[in-house]
Amino acid sequence: MASNEEDISKSTNPALDPDLDNPDHPGLEFAQFAAGCFWGVELAFQRVEGVVKTEVGYSQGHVHDPSYKLVCSGTTEHAEVIRIQLDPNVCPYTNLLSLFWSRIDPTTLNRQGNDVGNQYRSGIYYYNEAQAQLARESLEAKQKEFADKKIVTEILPAKRFYRAEEYHQQYLEKGGGRGAKQSAAKGCNDPIRCYG
């Protein structure tokens, strides 16, 4: 009986549904990552050749249509995520995985740098089995670099994506809280300065 009730609750809570959105154009694919505060992560992915569009938002939680304030309360179980639209003919998914691993400490639970809370956990949220397999293989390879520490990055199917408030979108490219715009140009290697 509990199993049936659980199935019913999942089907009535849109936050638990898979992300069924479609990319803007045929031939593009989605990718989704959680890597701490989404501002710096978004700028890093914006700079990748073959990344056509980035959006930051919330996923993997249990509350429908959450706000930033609610996510930061720690009660929704959402992670701050970036959803990417990529052209796989220009940017293989493995390129995104490499950048993801370079941006995080995969051994810290619910934390990246000074950002602490379950919304700052690290995760790879896949849209198909090919992405799932590549994500698992990349985790196994990365684990070999951390022989003495366990990687806590989660690898799960992508759930419904809730786009964050507009002021969060391309935040550092627009200047962030200090008005110092940072380049999102493809191939840019300038250091990313993340500030509120």
Active site residues: 37
Q: Say if residue 46 is exposed, middle or buried (CB neighbours under 10 Å; 0-12, 13-18, 19+).
A: buried
Strand, helix or coil for residue 127: coil
- DSSP class of residue 144 equals G
**Structural contact between residues 154 and 121, judged by C-beta atoms closer than 8 angstroms:** yes
| CA angle centred on 114, ends 113 and 119, rounded to 5° | 85
**Structural contact between residues 158 and 59, judged by C-beta atoms closer than 8 angstroms:** yes
Residue 127, token pair as written in the block: 């849209």
